[in-house]
Structure 1
Amino acid sequence: MTATATEIAARIRAGELTSREVTERMLAWIAADTKVNAVVETRPEFALQAAAEADAAVAAGRELGPLHGVPMTIKECFNVAGLRTTWGDPRFKEYVADWDATVVERLSRAGAIIVGKSNVHTMLGDFGQTTNEIYGRTNNPADLTRTPGGSSGGGAAALAAGLTYLEYGSDLVGSIRLPAAYCGVYGLKPTTGLVPLHGFQLPGPPEPQTEFPTLSTIGPLARSAADLRTALTVTGGPAAPYSWQLRPPRHDRLADLRVGVVLDHADAPVSSEVGTALSDTVDRLARNGAKIIEGWPAGVDASEQAEAFGFQVGLFFALQGEGADFASLAEVVAQERRRIARRLTWQRYFEDVDVFVCPTSFTTAFPHDDRPFEDRTIMTSYGEQRYDAQVFWIAHASLTGLPALSMPIGVTPTGLPVGMQVIGPWHEDDTAIRFAELLADLS
């Protein structure tokens, strides 16, 4: 399975394929998988009935959505009526949702068929690996001995293994971008707050909506940048009233783009294989007319910014009931001012720059590691690196709420994917997506 969701939808609308045959084929591939363990639950009867209805709508000439008849998966932590929502935690093993998350409703309204759910790390608690006591470990299709990343590793692996056409995941500490990079697919963390979180929750009745700032974000993973746009277009916007349009990209030619670039940092130095792929990509951009602007934005201290993000992650978990004495009110207020100041610094930067590119991670997919979290390290070309150094490169867009995607830019000599992160201006997600499309077209 190499076609994108957007391509499959177009072929179904044109009558070249039926949703039924596409859905049957996808279900068969999932059932046959014995190595990757990416899709952990399916609903074949529902999916095939929905596919039949989709084909009937095409035959009748009815109005069709942008994802009409396309089968897809969604991260296990989203509520889908009739499917289990466990977050990989044995405490919730028997919980079956009886209502749909907002993104499920919107994807379905756009014509997508939610066939099943992809694996997660227990309680989404690991950005580098995906395993839990209920469903077991997910492996990287490029090398089964290595991680697909976490906690959306199941979705990224499913895309890379040809087990789904589209996926929806979540990203607080890089949980969309890191798996996308390690598996060689596209993954978008939208502008924070752009996609409603309703239904992305622990098992139980619907939680009341809150306006308290949170850095947790949900977004699509896909096989192309165009699929990211399609998925974001049909899921973005306020919960109610529903009226929203994606801002158009700033430019449609690489030669018109001003591209900020940082390819290394002492806090998370990139391996030689990752660094080579990144520098080669920037050279290609320059040869094709993009204006390259090297260095961090004026006023940005990358180490300080990563540290500030660490505080915000701790605050997020304190708000979930873990460590209520995490910080004083004065500390929280000071850190919130710090966070907003950093966002304003980046907004000023994007007045003169269109996108900012940097590593998604300092490494490629690394071997599975069952050691305690604090004991883990990652071996690189320059020696061992701390496990939590994976957070450094994704921290900057997460702290400021900026849209950021990871895109594949090649593979190492041993066949491991390399990802590059593209950060866009606040609420200009399609500028980052369009840049990724233009860059991919150079291949």
Structure 2
Amino acid sequence: MSDVAFLPANRLAGLIRRGKIGCLELLDHYIKRVERFNPALNAIIATDFDRARKDAKAADTETTKGSFRGPLHGVPMTVKDSFNVAGLPTTWGVPVQRGNRVEADALAVQRLRDAGAIIFGKTNIPMWLADCQSFNEIYGRTANPWNLERSPGGSSGGSAVSLAAGLTGLEMGSDIAGSIRNPAAHCGVFGHKPTMGICSPIGHTLNENVAPIDMLVIGPLARSAADLEIGLKAITGLDEIDARGLHVSLPPPRKKRLDEFRVAVLVDDESIPLEQEIYAQQEALADFLRSSGVRVDISARPNFDPSDSHRIYDIVLRATTSARQTDDEFDANLVARNALAPDDDTKWARMLRGMTLSHRDWTALNEARHRIRWKWHEFFQTYDVMLAPMTVTAAFSHDPTPPYERTVSVNGTAQPFMNQIALAGYANFSYLPATVAPIGFTDENLPVGVQIIGAQYDDRTCIGFARLLERHYRKFEPPPGYE
């Protein structure tokens, strides 16, 4: 049954509906795989097998009566640590939150249960979800199944690893700086960052906070693009207050056939150096699309300076996360910021400015952000999607150095590690949807993904294009050794 573990969630649900496999039988199969493979991977860090088995038995009873809760009926799945799951700890990797067991599910978790999913565990993250790796002092380090010495990315690193290694049927992550898309690319799976605001994040929090976080979204990771649409549909919807007067209704995909699409391809970003193998995979995809009759434009860009977008995003991102600072940390950062030279535009300087940003200055940057949003809107009048690299390198070696002190080798030259989030920022900064799909491998057999960016609320267009790539170009491939 090892091949069953790697099936997409929609096919697992189909097997259950047709009586080919039982819900409890499938859950136990995944549990055995977790017990076998997770010790080396450290992807799944909290489990509730007893409740999951109880839920699976109930789902089996419903199945025998011809009753199905929804499209995920009986499908075992895990979710990122940062989602509240009743009876399990929510830590965000913060040591003082060790053992922080919660009593109620996040809204998205409840919606997944309503769709029939059997939730049996939670997956690893970096502390505060604030790294492109997945290490924290509570649970330790998660390894990439393609090479245990490499990082799976982050912050939804445990999510992507669990899917790639066949430990779960579906996953749910979150994304403010590529945290769904980055690990999806590094582990060779699919991931979708939804349009800002269409999926309520209530219960994706510490300390019962209820205010939405600027640019933060929740979304699915999966082994197929079709599963992304199922997962997205399950969690789409507003909270109780907004739902009184508003309803989310996403438009259908703009096109149905690959050769109908108008595609802009950002083969590289001149302001962010790319590893040559990443560049080559983007070029190969562009060549394939041309040969398939797709209208491809590799020179098309939205009408703004990408360097400005990256700079403002870096500052606004750090402003968004600045409330985590203690008073002493804020005071120290303020002193350091005031000592900066006016022309210091390093990643470190941007971080300090963001962490101590005044509301007056934030308002000015927010105006600049919304002007960029309108430039994207104009761009997508001409093009259906933009394809862009997701990461500047394939999966890199584990590195305990703090992110702003860390470097990554790009074509033999040390570059700031935080460049890894720059390309993700295009979508986060402007509230756009973006889907990652696997498109190939490096010479070291490490996965490479492409980012499919669409107009605001064109989530189904992004996922639809990923489905076409999956059908005509590249599918999910499991890493060797996890049969």
TM-score, normalised on structure 1?
Answer: 0.96
Cα deviation, 1:235-274, whole Å, max 9, x if unaligned, reads 0121233854432101110111000111112332221211
Cα deviation, 1:286-343, whole Å, max 9, x if unaligned, reads 1111111223534221111011101211220234556497222321111111111111
Distance 1:246 1:109 in 2: 20
Distance 1:154 1:370 in 2: 17
Distance 1:32 1:142 in 2: 17
Distance 1:348 1:319 in 2: 34
Q: CA deviation at 1:64?
A: 3.2
Q: CA deviation at 1:14?
A: 1.4
What residue is the counterpart of 1:362 in the other structure? 392
Distance 1:200 1:108 in 2: 16
Superposed counterparts of 1:143-162, under 5 Å: 143-162=147-166
What residue is the counterpart of 1:38 in the other structure? 43
Q: CA deviation at 1:414?
A: 1.6
Superposed counterparts of 1:182-221, under 5 Å: 182-202=186-206, 204=207, 206-209=208-211, 214-221=214-221
Distance 1:252 1:194 in 2: 23
Cα deviation, 1:399-441, whole Å, max 9, x if unaligned, reads 1000011111011122100011110110010000000110111
Aligned with 1:328 (options 358, 370, 377): 358
What residue is the counterpart of 1:73 in the other structure? 78
- Cα RMSD (Å): 1.5
Is 1:97 matched with 2:102? Answer: yes
What residue is the counterpart of 1:227 in the other structure? 227
What residue is the counterpart of 1:339 in the other structure? 369
Is 1:317 matched with 2:321? Answer: yes
- Matched pairs, number: 438
Report if aligned partners of 1:237, 1:245 keep a CA contact under 8 Å in 2.
no
What residue is the counterpart of 1:371 in the other structure? 401
Aligned to 2:316, the other structure's residue is in SS state helix
- Give the residue type in structure 2 aligned to 1:433: I
Aligned with 1:175 (options 151, 172, 179): 179
What residue is the counterpart of 2:337 in the other structure? none
Distance 2:193 2:210 in 1: 23
Structure-2 change in CA distance of 1:309 and 1:296 (3 Å): farther
Superposed counterparts of 1:18-167, under 5 Å: 18-33=22-37, 34-126=39-131, 128-167=132-171
Distance 2:176 2:210 in 1: 20
Q: CA deviation at 1:357?
A: 0.3
Aligned with 1:412 (options 428, 442, 459): 442
Distance 2:324 2:128 in 1: 12
- Give the residue type in structure 2 aligned to 1:307: R
Aligned to 1:289, the other structure's residue is in SS state coil
- Give the residue type in structure 1 aligned to 2:465: F
Aligned to 1:201, the other structure's residue is in SS state coil
Report if aligned partners of 1:77, 1:86 keep a CA contact under 8 Å in 2.
yes
Q: CA deviation at 1:108?
A: 0.3
Q: CA deviation at 1:48?
A: 0.9
Q: Which runs of 5+ in 2 are unaligned?
A: 335-355, 474-483
Is 1:422 matched with 2:452? Answer: yes
What residue is the counterpart of 2:383 in the other structure? 353
Report if aligned partners of 2:193, 2:217 keep a CA contact under 8 Å in 1.
yes
- Give the residue type in structure 1 aligned to 2:77: M
Distance 1:208 1:287 in 2: 49
Distance 1:392 1:81 in 2: 35
Report if aligned partners of 2:87, 2:101 keep a CA contact under 8 Å in 1.
yes
Distance 1:298 1:218 in 2: 26
Identity %, equivalent residues = 39
Report if aligned partners of 1:233, 1:245 keep a CA contact under 8 Å in 2.
no
Moved more, 294-303 or 409-418: 294-303
Cα deviation, 1:326-371, whole Å, max 9, x if unaligned, reads 2223211111111111111101111111000010011000001122
Q: Which runs of 5+ in 1 are unaligned?
A: none
